[in-house]
Amino acid sequence: MKNKARVTIIGGGVVGSATAYYLAKNGLTDVVLLERDYLSSGSTGRCGGGIRQQWSERMNVRLAMRSVEHFKNFEKEVGLDIEYFQGGYLLLAYNEEEEALFKKNVAMQQEEGLDVVLLSREETTRKFPFMNLEGLKLSAYCPSDGHANPHLTTFGYARAAEKMGVEVVTHTQAKRVLLENGKIKTVVTDRGEIETGIVVNAAGGYSHQVGEMVGLNLPTESYRHQIFVTEPLEHILDPLVISFVNNFYIRQTESGNFIMGQGDRDELPGLEITPTWKFLKEMSDKMPRFFPFLRDVRILRHWAGLYNMSPDAQPIIDRSNEVEDFYFAIGFSGHGFMLAPAVGEALAEWIVFGEPRSVDISNLSLQRFERGFTREKNVV
C-alpha cells in the first residue's frame, strides 16, 4: 500500500469502485480504494441485484436512467460481462392510495422519458398468468428495468480502475482521519498511514461511523435487510416484482433460482447482519400466496445485509462544508447498486472538474434536510 495519494476512497462496494473508475477515466489516477474486507463484501454483495428506474422522486428517476445507460454499455465500456438483463420491473398496487400514487408517478416518469406503462389487473394477469393477483388494483411495468450481478459489477469497476493506475487495497480498515485546520491530512489504517487531501466516504452501512472520523454527525442509520434464494426452476419470470404494501420483492436469476426479500418494520437501527428464523417463516408463509408455484420449492441460502437509510430514503451526495474536500455518497436506503454508475460518475466529475457534469445532483445535498424534503415512497 502506498503512503501517499491525492484521493482516498473508504469503501470497496460498488459506489466506491465506480467512483474510483470514473476518477481514473477522467485522468485522476492517484487514488487509493480502501476496503476493510473483500470487494463487495458489504451491502453491495448482499443486495438483490435489481436495477429500477420507477421512483416517486424525479431525481432518483434521472439517476437511475443515467445508470441504466452505463449498465447497458458496461461490458463494452468497462470490459466485463456482469449478467445484465433488462427483464423489466413490475410494481403492484393493492389499494386506492397506491393506485393514485402509481398514476402520478408514471406520469412524472413518462415526462422524464421513461418507457413505463400502467396495466390493469386483467392486463397484468394475461401477461403474468402464474401469479395470484387477487385484490390487485393495477400495476406499473417498465421493460427497460432489470438486474445484474453486483459482485461482477464491483469487480469490473475495480479491475478497470487498477489497470488505469488506481491502487485497490483490500483487508485494510480505515481507523481514523487526521485533520489540520479543517483540512484532511492523513487516513490512518490498520496497515499504515496514507497522506491524502481528499477523502470519499462510500462506506455503505458504516457511513455514519466514517463521518464521525472527521467530526461529522451524518444523518444515516443502518438496518438489517434479509434475502433468501431458492433452488432453480424453469425460467418463467423476467421482471423483478415488487409490492410495497405487501412488503416484498422477487426476481428469478439467470440460472433459474428465485431471490426474494422484505424489510422488517420492527427492525431497530444497528449493524447486525445475522439472518433470523422470523424472516424465513414470514417469507415462506407469504410468498406462495402471490406465487403459488413456490409452495413446495426448497430454500438454498439465506443472508442479511445493511440498508443505510437517510431521512428521506434518498442518497446523500455532497461535499462537507466543515471539512475541506471530504465527499460522501451515502444513505442509499437499499438502492446503492442500481444508482452507483451515475453517482460514481457525478462524484468523480465533481472532484476532477469542480462540478458534476453528467447529471444534476444538487437536490441530494445534506442541506436539503434543513430546507424541508419529501420522502421517496417506492422503498421495500
Q: Which grid cell is 185?
A: 491530512
pLDDT of 118 over the 90 cut: yes
Confidence of residue 75 (pLDDT cuts 50, 70, 90): very high
**pLDDT confidence of 298, banded at 50, 70, 90?**
very high
Instruction: Give the chain's domains with CATH numbers.
Output: 4-49+150-220+312-371 (3.50.50.60), 88-144+223-309 (3.30.9.10)
pLDDT tens-place string over residues 33-43 = 999 999 999 99
Q: Which residues contact 283 (CB under 8 A, 6 or more apart)?
A: 228, 248, 260, 261, 262
Q: Tell me: the pLDDT tens digits for 43-61?
A: 999 999 999 999 998 988 9
Q: What pLDDT was estimated at residue 193? A: 97
Whose CA is closest to 254, among 241, 235, 231? 235
Q: What pLDDT, on a 0 to 100 scale, did the predictor assign at position 377?
A: 79
pLDDT at 376: 82
Q: Which pLDDT does position 370 carry in this prediction?
A: 87
Summarize pLDDT for 7-22 with one digit per residue, the tens.
999 999 999 999 999 9
pTM of the full predicted structure?
A: 0.96
Strand 316-319 with 326-330, pairing: antiparallel
pLDDT band (50, 70, 90) for residue 199: very high
